[in-house]
């Protein structure tokens, strides 16, 4: 029996489904987390063969001892994953220390975690990227701005999501940002674009066994910084150009045996980087799109990506198919806003379309809102009407 160590299997809450499908495929599923066992969901407990609680997943020595214990008890570890951006480096370090060869190692982290390094591999795939510089001095930043103009975007070179990402529009804001003594930031030219993603499950040969994608029409950075509502949708079919560049990037980054979420800009206007509609590289995420996105993929494609991913792990292929296609819309409403339609109104209007209503964990709420709604629609026009009603506020 193959052994699979799942790091932090309780977060996000829906990730127990990955564990269940692994176990259904005959793997021994061993969890490591800092959540007390009694606080794990009933579904997760039933999906794990054993759980090792540590006081903190940040404590490298404790997590090391947890993996060592599982090796002592069950033998060789075949897989170790969290499917979580925050723990990717820890995953890689544990694989390196214990010679687990089924995923990224320490040496691979720079190209899949550092935004500056990602650009090299995007270019290897034949894609343009936003120009950038490392944030070091005021003079160096001003030299870069003289080339690209205001506004510019500053973000951690090694960051998670849109956390600590800002738009700077003048010298005063630049000086204020630099006065905060930022470390490890890059500065990029501003790109007027929506975000299109390539989401795929890749087998050991670097070939996709499932593909989809989403559209984020509004900057996640603005959502976080302005405490705004969140919205994006899963498309009913991947755009042909996004599918094409996504596959090229899988090869360029050397992706194997992974669930990936690769982000691209689609230009909304003619600008120095390219013409309106052109696809430009943004960044890669070597894990599933966050939060409830796997469930959205299921709703949009009438399928089960948890099972497809577990089949990739167990068999390197899958017999799971897709069915009827939909647009799957996500709305994350922000607490404190005076919405025109309350939840009861929305359920009355869209009850047949709504799949889930739930509260967002605090750890994800900055980017995803406080109360989330998932709904499916056959046409884009129907989905846009839903968004209008969901976000309308009283005057």
Q: What is the pLDDT of residues 170-198, one digit of tens each?
A: 999 999 999 998 999 999 999 999 999 99
Q: Cα 271–183–141 angle (5° rounding)?
A: 40
* Count of positions (residues) in the chain: 395
| Phi-psi category of residue 45: left, alpha or beta, with phi > 0 → left and psi -120 to 50 → alpha | alpha
How distant is the alpha carbon of residue 251 from its chain centre? 19
257: Cα separation from own chain's centroid: 17
Rounded Cα distance, 223 and 231, in Å: 9
- Is residue 225 pLDDT above 80, yes or no? no
Q: In whole angstroms, how far apart are CA 363 and each of 86, 126, 162, 360, 369?
A: 11, 36, 13, 8, 11
Query: Over the stretch 289-323, which tens digit does the pLDDT of each residue have?
Result: 988 999 999 999 999 999 999 999 999 999 999 99
Contact between 246 and 253 (Cβ < 8 Å): no
Buried b (16+ CB within 10 A) or exposed e, 14-43: bbbbbbbbbbebebbbbbbbbbeeeebeee
| 252 neighbors 202 (Cβ within 8 angstroms) | no
Task: Please check the confidence at residue 328 and state whether its pLDDT lies above 90.
Answer: yes
Long-range CB contacts (within 8 A, 24+) of 334-338: 334/227, 334/228, 334/229, 334/230, 334/369, 334/370, 335/370, 335/371, 337/229, 337/393, 338/393, 338/394
pLDDT at 154 over 90: yes
What is the biggest distance separating any 2 CA atoms in the chain, rounded to whole angstroms? 64
Strand-strand pairing, 193-202 and 258-267: antiparallel
pLDDT value at residue 37: 98
Instruction: Name the nearest CA neighbour of 182 among 147, 150, 153.
Output: 153
Residue range 101-141, pLDDT digits in tens: 999 999 999 999 999 999 999 999 999 999 999 999 999 99
pLDDT score of 171 = 97
Q: What percent of the chain has pLDDT over 70?
A: 98
**pTM, rounded to two decimals:** 0.95
- Residue 219's pLDDT is what? 65
């Amino acid at each position: 029996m193959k052994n699979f160590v799942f790091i932090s299997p309780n977060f996000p809450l829906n990730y127990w489904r990955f564990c269940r499908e692994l176990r259904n495929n005959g793997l021994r599923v061993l969890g490591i987390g800092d959540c007390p066992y009694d606080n794990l969901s009933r579904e997760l407990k039933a999906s794990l063969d054993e759980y090792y609680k540590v006081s903190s997943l940040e404590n490298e020595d404790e997590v090391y001892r947890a993996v060592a214990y599982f090796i002592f008890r069950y033998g060789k570890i075949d897989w170790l994953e969290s499917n979580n951006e925050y723990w990717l480096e820890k995953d890689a370090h544990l694989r390196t220390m214990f010679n687990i060869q089924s995923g990224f190692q320490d040496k691979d982290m720079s190209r899949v975690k550092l935004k500056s390094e990602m650009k090299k591999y995007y270019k290897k795939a034949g894609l343009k990227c936003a120009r950038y510089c490392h944030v070091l001095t005021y003079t160096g930043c001003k030299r870069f701005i003289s080339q690209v103009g205001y506004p510019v975007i500053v973000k951690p070179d090694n960051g998670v999501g849109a956390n600590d990402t800002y738009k700077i529009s003048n010298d005063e804001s630049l000086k204020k940002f630099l006065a905060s003594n930022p470390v490890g930031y890059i500065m990029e030219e501003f790109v007027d674009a929506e975000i299109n993603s390539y989401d795929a499950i890749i087998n050991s040969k670097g070939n996709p066994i499932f593909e989809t994608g989403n559209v984020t029409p509004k900057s996640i950075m603005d959502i976080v910084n302005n405490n705004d509502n969140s919205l994006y949708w899963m498309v009913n079919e991947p755009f042909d150009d996004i599918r094409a560049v996504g596959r090229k990037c899988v090869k360029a980054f050397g992706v194997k045996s992974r669930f990936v979420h690769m982000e691209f800009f689609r230009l909304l206007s003619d600008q120095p980087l390219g013409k309106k509609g052109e696809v430009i590289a943004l960044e890669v995420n070597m894990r599933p799109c966050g939060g409830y996105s796997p469930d959205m993929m299921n709703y949009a494609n009438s399928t089960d990506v948890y099972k497809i991913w577990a089949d990739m792990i167990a068999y390197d292929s899958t017999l799971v198919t897709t069915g009827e296609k939909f647009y799957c819309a996500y709305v994350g409403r922000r607490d404190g806003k005076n919405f025109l339609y309350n939840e009861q109104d929305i359920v009355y209007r869209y009850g047949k379309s709504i799949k889930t209503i739930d509260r967002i964990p605090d750890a994800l709420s900055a980017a995803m809102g406080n109360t989330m709604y998932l709904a499916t629609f056959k046409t884009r026009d129907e989905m846009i009407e839903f968004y209008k009603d969901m976000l309308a506020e009283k005057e």
